[in-house]
């Protein structure tokens, strides 16, 4: 089954004719994503790979009909308005690849997300995928393989390595969600873990956190639910050696006092029943061991 998207999900690409948008639209099409329209102001009436391009989201919806999801490849200064435009036109899932969006703009975005009941993944994220069905964003096609492990991550590049490890081990993935590294993001660990809890295909979960914020700790109660449902959770926390007060990579990856410290995250996750690993290379082996224990106990 997987979560959030499948092969029937109708996808709109905002910024489809730009360098990044056109490149990754092609990769999404190759994966089988059901892209029904694109939007680039002043480029309406064109086609990209037989996909109609419109000037506005409103025009696209009027012509195509209801659209399920949008992916944003729009420059930072215009990205917030593009997200709001998607909300106003009934698109309930918005994946924001753009990084560097001003935080005061994102405050306005969150108002519209709440008002119109929309889910947002990102910004500054690699996107999401349900393996073998649909991919929205920039996750490499080559690392995706249908399987039983759900992955949710704050780090794009580390998650790609883990996806390859899961593929090579024969475990594969159910769905993959890259949350993004900014302070003000949409879906968070606890939201995605709740979805994996109810997804029949997902038999184990990999959770890739990093220093900064409290999202990993906030998700601990849902981790406990997953463990009780015999879905092992394997966690990895990146940035353990980062000095306090120094931002490392992502805007949200900063330790301030007790909050955001890796040892505190590890403690809370372990108390919830997660297995926290020191290196990503052991993740597939650890999952297989935990699933074996569950099967023996049945």
* Residue with token string 């698109």: 91
- CATH number of the domain enclosing 56: 3.40.50.720
Tell me, letter by letter, the H, E, C secondary structure of 222-247. Answer: HHHHHHHCCCCEEEEEECCCCCCCCC
pLDDT 10s digits, 4-39: 999 999 999 999 999 999 999 999 999 999 999 999
The verdict on whether 250 is a catalytic residue reads: yes
Question: Of the listed 24, 104, 110, 250, which one is catalytic?
Answer: 250
Residue 133 lies in a domain: no
Residue 132 lies in a domain: no
- Find the domain containing 61 and state its range: 11-121
Residue 30 lies in a domain: yes
pLDDT 10s digits, 43-65: 999 999 999 999 999 999 999 99
Give the integer Cα–Cα distance in Å for 233 and 149: 10
CB 40 within 8 A of CB 17: yes
For the chain, how many structural domains are there in total? Answer: 2
Residue 39 lies in a domain: yes
Q: What is the pTM of this model?
A: 0.93
């Amino acid at each position: 089954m997987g979560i959030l998207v499948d092969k029937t999900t109708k996808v709109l690409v905002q910024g489809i004719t730009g360098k990044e948008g056109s490149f990754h639209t092609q990769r999404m099409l190759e994966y089988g994503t059901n892209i029904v329209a694109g939007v680039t102001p002043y480029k309406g009436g064109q086609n990209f790979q037989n996909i109609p391009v419109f000037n506005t989201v409103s025009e696209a919806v009027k012509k195509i009909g209801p659209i399920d999801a949008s992916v944003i490849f729009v420059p930072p200064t215009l990205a917030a308005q593009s997200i709001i435009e998607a909300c106003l036109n009934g698109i309930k899932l918005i994946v924001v690849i753009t990084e560097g969006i001003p935080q005061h703009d994102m405050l306005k975005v969150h108002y519209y997300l709440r008002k119109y009941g929309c889910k947002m993944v990102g910004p500054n994220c690699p996107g999401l995928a349900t393996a073998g069905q649909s991919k929205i964003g920039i996750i490499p096609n080559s690392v995706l393989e249908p399987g039983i492990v759900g992955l949710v991550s704050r780090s794009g590049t580390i998650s790609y390595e883990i996806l390859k490890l899961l593929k090579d081990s024969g475990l594969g993935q159910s769905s993959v969600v890259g949350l993004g590294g900014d302070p003000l993001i949409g879906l968070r660990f606890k939201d995605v873990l709740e979805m994996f809890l109810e997804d029949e295909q997902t038999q184990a979960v990999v959770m890739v956190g990093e220093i900064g914020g409290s999202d990993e700790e906030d998700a601990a109660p849902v981790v406990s639910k997953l463990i009780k449902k015999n879905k092992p959770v394997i966690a990895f926390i990146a940035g353990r050696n980062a000095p306090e007060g120094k931002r490392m990579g992502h805007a949200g990856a900063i330790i301030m006092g007790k909050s955001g410290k890796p040892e505190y995250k590890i403690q809370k996750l372990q108390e919830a029943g997660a297995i926290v690993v020191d290196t990503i290379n052991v993740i597939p082996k650890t999952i297989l061991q935990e699933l074996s224990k569950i099967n023996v106990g049945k």
